[in-house]
């Protein structure tokens, strides 16, 4: 593997993401005016960038002759949905055990007040399932699907896993606090919000949370690399994690449990060093269990 190819594989996603962010930031003001304020600058930046990146990846995949099966989709719809179901169960188990531990350590504490705010628990849980599946499908198609398949044409699986894990982690910290109103909008509003998001990510970067998300990306990347057309597993596992985190936030609060508080990061007070270690252990177990090679199922 030549060094220029590896460097290009690392830099290409960054350049694509930067181009998309800058272009959408430049167009955010007229788009906000066209929608009559229905979409704020922050929503336009996030959704617009996602759509632009997806469009670019689809065009790139077509140029390289990469179809949906190469992107990880199973040839059978039944098998694909079965993969999602099996992955969902694994994701619930993995992060459910983690949440049980941090609650036992009083890092997260059950709140009757928070629980009472939800008149219908089943409806809330169904909502969490829907959001989790939607988020997991979009992110897994983006990172473990299209990006993974494109990069695999140029670098080794180990590099692909590392690169996709890094760029999967990075956008989680690009969150702006600014929400300009209609009367505050101007042509540079998009760049102002983008600059605030980047500045906030740099100033408030939390290594433990970054590490936890990166380890999660590595686990999902290993699942993708060790399975044939196994993107459904990645979607299910990811959805299970999101569901557990959202449900935990709905019924618990950050207990700041003294010295144990270091085990979780500031990103959501749920993931951190402890989840990074747990998911890393699961990754090693998975690699050991599939050491004979790529699984067909």
Q: Is residue 10 part of a domain?
A: yes
Q: What are 251-265's pLDDT values in tens digits?
A: 999 987 778 989 999
Q: What are 159-218's pLDDT values in tens digits?
A: 999 999 999 999 999 888 888 877 778 889 999 999 999 998 888 889 999 999 999 999
Query: What torsion, rounded to 10 degrees, do the Cα atoms 28, 210, 244, 161 define?
Result: 90
* Closest C-alpha to 167, from 49, 286, 87, 261: 49
Q: How many separate domains does the chain show? A: 1
Provide the b/e sequence for 67-81 (b: ≥16 CB within 10 Å).
ebebbbbbeeeeebe
- The helix (H) or strand (E) run that includes residue 109 is strand 108-110
Confidence grade of residue 37 (pLDDT, cut at 50, 70, 90): low
Residues in the chain: 297
pLDDT of residue 296: 45
Q: Is residue 294 part of a domain?
A: no
The domain in which residue 142 lies consists of 3-289
Q: Is residue 243 part of a domain?
A: yes
Q: Is residue 295 part of a domain?
A: no
Q: Is residue 296 part of a domain?
A: no
Q: Is residue 297 part of a domain?
A: no
Residue 261 has a CB neighbour count (10 Å cut-off) of: 17
pLDDT of residue 39: 76
Q: CA 114, CA 179: separation in Å to the nearest integer?
A: 26
Q: Is residue 136 part of a domain?
A: yes
Q: What are 78-94's pLDDT values in tens digits?
A: 999 999 999 999 999 99
Instruction: Please state the pTM of the whole predicted model.
Output: 0.93
Is residue 117 exposed (0-12), middle (13-18) or buried (19+ Cβ within 10 Å)? exposed
Of 33-42, 105-114, 120-129, 186-195, give the lowest mean pLDDT range: 33-42
Confidence grade of residue 145 (pLDDT, cut at 50, 70, 90): very high
Q: Is residue 70 part of a domain?
A: yes
């Amino acid at each position: 593997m030549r060094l220029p190819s590896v460097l290009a594989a690392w830099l290409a996603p960054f350049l694509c993401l930067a181009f998309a962010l800058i272009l959408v930031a430049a167009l955010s003001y007229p788009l906000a005016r066209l929608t009559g304020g229905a979409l704020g600058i922050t929503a336009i930046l996030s959704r617009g960038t996602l759509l632009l990146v997806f469009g670019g990846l689809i065009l790139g995949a077509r140029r390289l002759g990469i179809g949906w099966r190469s992107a990880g989709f199973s040839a059978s719809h039944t098998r694909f949905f079965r993969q999602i179901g099996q992955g969902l169960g694994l994701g619930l188990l993995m992060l459910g055990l983690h949440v049980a531990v941090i609650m036992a350590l009083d890092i997260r504490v059950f709140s009757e007040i928070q629980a009472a705010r939800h008149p219908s628990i089943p409806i809330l849980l169904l909502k969490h399932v829907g959001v989790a599946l939607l988020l997991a499908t979009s992110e897994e198609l983006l990172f473990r699907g299209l990006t993974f398949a494109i990069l695999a044409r140029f670098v080794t699986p180990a590099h692909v896993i590392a690169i996709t894990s890094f760029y999967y982690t990075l956008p989680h910290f690009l969150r702006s606090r600014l929400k300009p109103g209609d009367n505050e909008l101007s042509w540079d509003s998009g760049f102002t919000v983008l600059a605030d998001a980047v500045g906030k990510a740099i100033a408030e970067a939390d290594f433990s949370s970054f590490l936890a998300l990166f380890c999660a990306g590595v686990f999902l990347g290993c699942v993708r690399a060790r399975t044939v057309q196994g993107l459904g597993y990645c979607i299910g596992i990811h959805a299970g994690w999101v569901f557990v985190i959202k449900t935990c936030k709905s019924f618990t609060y950050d207990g700041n449990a003294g010295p144990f508080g270091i085990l979780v990061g500031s990103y959501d007070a749920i993931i951190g060093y402890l989840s990074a270690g747990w998911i890393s252990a699961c990754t090693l177990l998975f690699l050991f269990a599939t050491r004979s090679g790529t699984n067909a199922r």
